[in-house]
Amino acid sequence: MGLLPFTGIMTRPFNHPSREHRLLESLGPFLNYAPSQRYPAGIGDDAALRRCRRGERLVFTADTLVEGVHFSLAYMTLAEVGFKAMVANLSDCAAMGAGPDGALVQIVFPQKQRARAKRHVKELYSGIRKACRRWGFPVVGGNISMGPSWIVDVTLVGRLGAKQRALHRSGARPGDVLWVSGRPGESAAGLAAIRRWGRARAPGELQALIRRHVAPSARIRAGNALAADRNVRAVIDVSDGVSKDCLTLSYENDLTAELLLTEALASSAMRRAAAQLGADWQDWFLHGGEDYELLFAASPAFDPGRLRNQQGVRFRRIGRFTDRGFGAWVKTCDGSRARLSSGGWDHLGKK
C-alpha cells in the first residue's frame, strides 16, 4: 500500500474500503497533524506534500528497530518502542543541527498477532505521539504491513532555516578537542541491569539507568546550539558506541584521536551498576550504544559552559585530534594506553 490514507479529522464508522483503512483512519489522533503552510494538502493522498520557503533546506534520515535485534517486548512496551524509534531518528537530525519537520512511519506487525493488531498498533503509536508532541512535529504518512515480527521503520524529515548552518562529520582539524554530551554508557548499563535482574526486579538505584535505555532522549536543542557555534567543526550522534563513532570521525577527517577516560565521565549510578554486575564502566562508555548523545570536535576556543547554561546539557571533554592519519588511542583510568578498537554495534560484525 502507499502512504497512510488516514485523516483523524472525522470518523466514518461505516463504508470503509477495508478493515485496514479503518485502522489507519483511527490513528489520526496519534499523528500530531493538522493542515499547515508546510504540509498544506492534508493526509489522504498517495504521498505527502511539503512546501518549502526560499533558502530553507530539508534533512532526510531513516532508521529501523527490529524485534529481537534492537528491542525485546519482554522488557519494553510497544509505546516505549514507538518513542525510541523516533528518538533514533531525531538524534541523527540533531547531529546535523536541524530540527524535526515531519515523519513517515512504516510498521510491520507479527502475523501471529493479527487478531490484536489494531490494539497493539495504537499502543505503539501512543509512544510515537509522545515524541511528536515533545519535539513538535507531525507524522505525515507511512505504511502498515504484516510480517514475521515487529519492525518499526521511521523516515524523518528535518529542517534547516536559510541562515542555519548544517553540521557534518567532516571538518575537524589537528588540535581540535573531542567533546561528548551527557553520559554515554548509561544505556548499556541499564540494559545490563535488565539482563541480570529483569526490569521490575533490578535494584531501585539502577532504575534511572534502565530508563536511559528504554526511554532515551534526543539532543535537538543542543544540536541547534552547536550548529550556531563556529568553534564546532564535526559532529556525530552516539548511537553505536563512542568507540565506533569516534573512529568514524577519525576516518572522515583523516585524523588520529587520543581519548582520556577519567572517573568524572561516569555517573555514580553507572559506577554502582558496574560494581554490582562485576563489569567495567569504561567498557560501557566506550562500546555501549543507544545513548543518542552528541560526539563532536571543536576548536580549543570552544566554551562548553556557555552552551550548558543555555541548553541545560553538560559537555565533557574526552580527548583530542592530533596528527593526520586514521586511528585512535585510549588512555584508561589505570594509566594504560592502547589502540582503540571498535566495540560498538555493527550489523555486519561477528556475533
- Please, are residues 294 and 226 in contact by the beta-carbon 8 Å criterion? yes
Lowest pLDDT segment from 239-243, 270-274, 339-343: 339-343
Q: What SS3 state is found at 176?
A: coil
- Please, are residues 139 and 104 in contact by the beta-carbon 8 Å criterion? yes
Using 50, 70 and 90 to split pLDDT, how confident is the model at 8?
A: very low
CA-to-CA dists, residue 270 to 32, 75, 93, 179, angstroms: 36, 20, 27, 19
- Whole-number average pLDDT of the chain: 88
Query: Where does the chain have alpha helices with state H?
Result: 19-26, 78-95, 117-135, 186-197, 207-214, 220-228, 242-253, 268-277, 281-287, 304-311
pLDDT score at 4: 42
CA-to-CA distance for 259 and 268, rounded, in angstroms?
Answer: 21
In this structure, what C-alpha cell is assigned to residue 257? 584521536
237-264: per-residue pLDDT in tens?
999 999 999 999 999 999 999 999 999 9
What fold is seen in the domain 177-333? Phosphoribosyl-aminoimidazole Synthetase; Chain A, domain 2 (3.90.650)
pLDDT score at 15: 56
Cβ contacts of 129-133, under 8 Å, gap ≥ 24: 129/29, 129/30, 129/31, 129/32, 130/79, 130/82, 130/83, 131/82, 131/83, 131/86, 131/87, 131/90, 132/31, 132/32, 132/86, 132/103, 133/32
- Sign of the four-CA dihedral 218, 223, 95, 182: negative
Residue type at 63 in one-letter notation: D
In this structure, what C-alpha cell is assigned to residue 226? 552547536
CA-to-CA distance for 129 and 83, rounded, in angstroms?
Answer: 8
Say if 19-36+49-160 and 177-333 have the same CATH topology: no
In this prediction, residues 325-338 reach a mean pLDDT of: 91
Q: What SS3 state is found at 104?
A: strand
pLDDT score at 3: 41
In this prediction, residues 34-63 reach a mean pLDDT of: 75
51 Cβ contact list (under 8 Å, min separation 6)? 37, 38, 39, 40
Report field, pTM of the whole predicted structure over 0.85: yes
101-120: per-residue pLDDT in tens?
999 999 999 999 888 999 99
Taking domain 19-36+49-160, whether its CATH number is 2.40.37.10 is answered by no
119 Cβ contact list (under 8 Å, min separation 6)? none
Residue in 227, 236, 232, 219 with CA at minimum distance from that of residue 313? 219
pLDDT score at 313: 83
Query: Hey, where are the domains in the chain?
Result: 19-36+49-160, 177-333
